[in-house]
Amino acid sequence: MRVFASFLLLLLVAACKPGGEGEKQAMVAPILTTEDARDAATFAQPEVARVTHVGLDLTLDFAAKRVGGTATLDILARPGADTLVLDSDGLEIASITDAEGKALPFKVGEKVEGKGEPVTVTIGDARKIVVTYSAAPEAEALQWLAPEQTAGGKQPYLFSQGQPTLNRSWIPTQDSPGIRQTWDARIVAPKPLTVVMSGLRAGEPEDLGDSRAFRFTMNKPVAPYLIAIAAGDLAFRELGPRTGVWTEPSMLDAAANELADTEKMVEAAERLYGPYRWGRYDVIVLPPSFPYGGMENPTLTFLTPTFIAGDRSLNGLVAHELAHSWSGNLVTNATWADSWLNEGITSYFENRILEELYGKRRAQQEAALSFAEIEKVLAEKGKDAPVTALHLPPAEALPDGGESGIVYDKGAAFMRTVEQAVGRTRFDAWLRQWFDSHAFQPATSALLLADMRANLINGDAALERQLMLDEWVYGTGLPANVARPAPEAFADVDAAAADYAKTRAVDPAPWAGWTTAERLRFLAKLPRRMDTQQLADLDRGLGLSQSGNDEILFAWLDLALANRYQPAVPLAEKFLGRVGRRKFVQPLFQTLMDQGDWGRPIARRLYAQTRAGYHAVTQGSVDAIVGKPA
């Protein structure tokens, strides 16, 4: 009850004012002040003074690899408060003034590893300030690509990745998911580059001679990690009335074909859990150095090109990022200790979208693959490992603490378990009201469980015991009541893998008719120890090295390198030089490093060649495995 009391008080002080798509007045979101909503990853003190709106006026300098200009911040402060604390990570701040241009004293504090440095501003009675600054060339959120690193090879490229706490390296604000902000931006870029952002474009670009100015607006409060930018030689194609794709011209046909079902996905998501509230749903397919599969930036999902398989078999990634428009963007984890609220609910929602569009069989197979990932993590980490809890304890609650996948897969399994216990109709009604009741607001595990008890369990003591809610969220491992995947999902594939394990004879006939999910399951079920001849036969029989599907190629390379299969090294070198997605890059380098005197020299040689082309997110993860090249 204390959770609801604190939350209600904040709603009265700073109420959200939801409206339609044409709404002009910026919304002010509440904050949470309960202990479990305190974000250790920010220097901000939002209960004293917080940023409610960010106005950016920036210029992109590709030669210097710098973003610079001004950020105008609107502030909501409690009576008598005269200081504001912002997050920074290497920002070069020239001045801070009030709205009339009067200089305001500020101090940049000492740098804290992994967190940056606080900027404490003496604001007095000012409630709007202007920060004149420049982001450093090495700003972690930004990746600057030379023309030769792009598909077209003629123009440079820039993209950002803000999650979890990287945006403080290019935007001076309070960089915490629990401090939602509206924003607008004016971005100047050299011709002929096009700029896109995670907000709605406001009018046509302004011609400035050798450059153009692009304007964007987001009048709904979002977590600051969701402010994103990309600039390059970009073309656009409409996919539906409110959907479209941006990418480099040479990639447009392939990307549009892979994304052809996007409008149908939006419609399916709306049927499940209510209206899409962001206006447009566009996507941008980025160069391959993008470190994630996708990033759910509002109005403009960022996607890796590695999802392009030619047959739409990997478009579950699109469904996942779309689902974040409800779970993650609409209702957001207040701290990264509760990132399962974003990722676990989204993974469940993704599966429901796939079922709506492609049927129960594909949904069951995707769910089974997800469950296998939980079992893999539990086998590696142990069922009592703190990292296997959904609500991560302080030692594990790092901003990027969800690397293991537990927050995705165990979170989805929790939602599926509750759904099967109460029935789909009842569960869907509850989840829809959760999104509606908490729209444009932060949330915690405690808040969700209280809502579930109030609006789903409704005092049913037997159901409360059956669901084991606290054990699911705060406990480690998998509770006994977990809803396991349908055994028939991969019955034929598992039988084929078992036959291979006995005979080591490759039968290409079933493989030819299998879906991507079935092929991935087969590869995952193969014996982990294989000799050179067996690997050669497998590759030749199934055409693994020639696969145009990067998920399959990754699974094959991981198996081959784990068995010190020398013929796979040139392909791994090519793959790691082409792809920067951490999901693929980090495990392959780990596999090589695990192979002692055989693999470690290969890993170090390849990383020295490829590191410069990776985003800082991927670099940081691989540095911890291989070491930073000299």
Beta bridge pairs of residue 68: 59, 134
351-399 pLDDT per residue, tens: 999 999 999 999 999 999 999 999 999 999 999 999 999 999 887 777 7
Helices 340-358 and 406-422, packing angle to 10 deg: 60
CA distances from 26 to 15, 144, 183, 184 (A): 12, 32, 9, 11
pLDDT of residue 529: 97
pLDDT of residue 14: 41
pLDDT of residue 138: 96
Report residue 586's pLDDT band, with 50, 70 and 90 as the boundaries. very high
Q: What angle do CA 484, 486, 491 make, to 5 degrees?
A: 125
Output the six-digit token pair for 458: 């409704």
Placement of tokens 């007095």 in the chain: 124
Residue 472 to residue 414: CA distance in whole angstroms? 7
Residue 414 to residue 370: CA distance in whole angstroms? 12
Residue 189 to residue 20: CA distance in whole angstroms? 32
Residue 51 to residue 174: CA distance in whole angstroms? 7
β-strands 229-232, 157-160 pairing: antiparallel
Residue ranges with strand state E in 30-180:
49-61, 66-77, 83-88, 92-98, 106-108, 117-122, 128-134, 142-145, 157-160
514 touches 311 (CB < 8 A): no
pLDDT of residue 67: 99
pLDDT of residue 403: 60
Beta-carbon contacts of residue 568 (< 8 Å; ≥ 6 apart): 535, 545, 556, 557, 560, 561
pLDDT of residue 245: 99
Report residue 401's pLDDT band, with 50, 70 and 90 as the boundaries. low
Torsion of CA 502, 504, 509, 513, to 10 degrees: 70
237-279 pLDDT per residue, tens: 999 999 999 999 999 999 999 999 999 999 999 999 999 999 9
Its sign, for the CA torsion 389, 392, 394, 399, is positive
Cis omega (within 30 of 0) for bond into 164 = yes
Instruction: Say whether 380 sits in a helix, a strand or coil.
Output: helix
62 touches 150 (CB < 8 A): no
DSSP string spanning 485-525?
PPGGGGHHHHHHHHHHHHH----HHHHHH--HHHHHHHHHH
Beta-carbon contacts of residue 557 (< 8 Å; ≥ 6 apart): 568, 571, 572, 575, 588
Residue 518 to residue 192: CA distance in whole angstroms? 44
433-480 pLDDT per residue, tens: 999 999 999 999 999 999 999 999 999 999 999 999 999 999 999 999
What is the percent of the chain with per-residue pLDDT over 70, rounded to a whole number?
95
CB atoms within 10 A of CB 534: 18
Report residue 27's pLDDT band, with 50, 70 and 90 as the boundaries. confident
Placement of tokens 């044409």 in the chain: 22
pLDDT of residue 325: 99
Output the six-digit token pair for 425: 């109709």
